[in-house]
Amino acid sequence: MSGVAAELHGSASEYWATELPALSPSMLVSRRAGAGSAFPFDAPNVQYVHFARNAIYHLARQWRLDGGEVLMPAYFHGVELEALLAAGARPRFFAVRNGMRVDPEDVIDAITPATRAVYLIHYAGFPGPADAIEAICRARGLLFLEDCALALLSKAGSRPLGSFGDAAVFCLYKTLPTPDGGAVVMKEGRLEFVGVTPNFLGAARTTAAAVLTSLERGGGVMRSMARCVKAVGKAATPRAQAEWVDVGTQHFGTADVDLLMSSVSHRIVAAQDFTAIVEARRRNYLQLRSLLSDLAEPVHAALPDGVCPLFYPFTTGRKLELWTRLRAAGVQAVLFWLGGDHGPRPGEFPDVDVLRRTVLELPCHQDMTAEKIERLARLVRRELAAIG
């Protein structure tokens, strides 16, 4: 989420189509057999951290990238770049083309004698050229880091994203209804750092708020009771201490870099049906594409096998206006990556400028029903027609 979006985020209970899936109370008590059978959860050396950005920082330190050049795509969020900079790495950017495409030749052209590592982002669940980048790095003795923060549960063909690089990082709470959580998998060894268990009250407060928000959407008496409990809890519960950082923060901080994932997030992960999640997201994505592609061009022309879409990204020349209208109508659309500090100058990568200016994303997560998808598509068509 961009800084602008964060400022205007509002309460999730105000939306009937939320950006992220909701936490059901049953997930706190149930465990599904075989729930850990998806990558990276079944990787023998998987480690869990509070934020994926923390793992990026520790990887850069462990790989001794201080002063070394890291090639990374010119289309990025910003917090991952801040983590690399904090670890002392020097970023050098390569192009991202229309359709969020990375051309391996652009990566090769960006390599210099100072290059130590290549950083590849898989956008919105869709795989970048991980096999080609893996081969490039092997041939040149470079480290390869896969950023799967937006691509949990996705595959390139039959191979999970995150299994190509020397290391891969994942953000769990973008796909699963956890209050926090990132994962890191290394091809060899483990991340070496002394982790700190997050503050229990912070985790409990965030989880309780998520459950109550879910109950609020039920309407009637349940909504009234949930709002009452939330109001009392907000007044009685102290804000999270330094050992807990709420998700949605837009910047990296070294003060929180050793935080681990909370125990409640571990429990929620164990309650997920990963196969059903992928199937639901793909079904919702395809339904949105069938209803909107004639009016709002999707960023990705196809949905390849194995892809678990994070959102439904499409392009519009009225991005900010449409986003504002949709949120006013109860749709938590995502104002994706407007830009930030430390990156390339405008005009240096024209295709990236267009992506930042035109890409808007709609929710297609596992909580969205066929009826909600139809309602969402009708609303998008109405608002696009209204703004011309």
Cα separation, 356 vs 79, whole angstroms: 16
Stated as kind and residue range, the H or E segment containing 183 is strand 182-186
283-335 pLDDT, tens digit each:
999 999 999 999 988 999 899 999 999 999 999 999 999 999 999 999 999 98
Cα separation, 176 vs 21, whole angstroms: 7
172-207 pLDDT, tens digit each:
999 999 999 999 999 999 999 989 887 766 666 677
pLDDT over 70 for what percent of the chain?
A: 81
- Nearest Cα neighbor of 143 from 113, 114, 167 is 167
Which of these ranges, 47-61, 130-144, 238-252, 254-268, has the smallest mean pLDDT?
Answer: 238-252
Q: What pLDDT score was predicted for residue 52?
A: 95
- Does the pTM surpass 0.85? The reply is yes
What value does the mean pLDDT take over residues 336-346?
A: 82
Q: What pLDDT score was predicted for residue 13?
A: 57
Confidence category of residue 26, pLDDT binned at 50, 70, 90: confident
Helix H segments across the chain? 3-7, 52-62, 79-86, 104-110, 130-140, 200-216, 220-236, 263-270, 274-292, 319-328, 350-358, 370-387
123-136 pLDDT, tens digit each:
999 999 999 999 99
Cα separation, 383 vs 327, whole angstroms: 11
Which of these ranges, 210-224, 244-258, 259-273, has the smallest mean pLDDT?
Answer: 210-224
38-77 pLDDT, tens digit each:
999 999 999 999 999 999 999 999 999 999 999 999 999 9
Q: What pLDDT score was predicted for residue 244?
A: 60
CA 23 from chain centre, in angstroms, equals 17
How many residues can be counted in the chain? 388
205-243 pLDDT, tens digit each:
677 666 666 665 555 544 443 444 344 344 334 444 447
Q: What pLDDT score was predicted for residue 3?
A: 39
Cα separation, 75 vs 230, whole angstroms: 38
156-167 pLDDT, tens digit each:
999 999 999 999
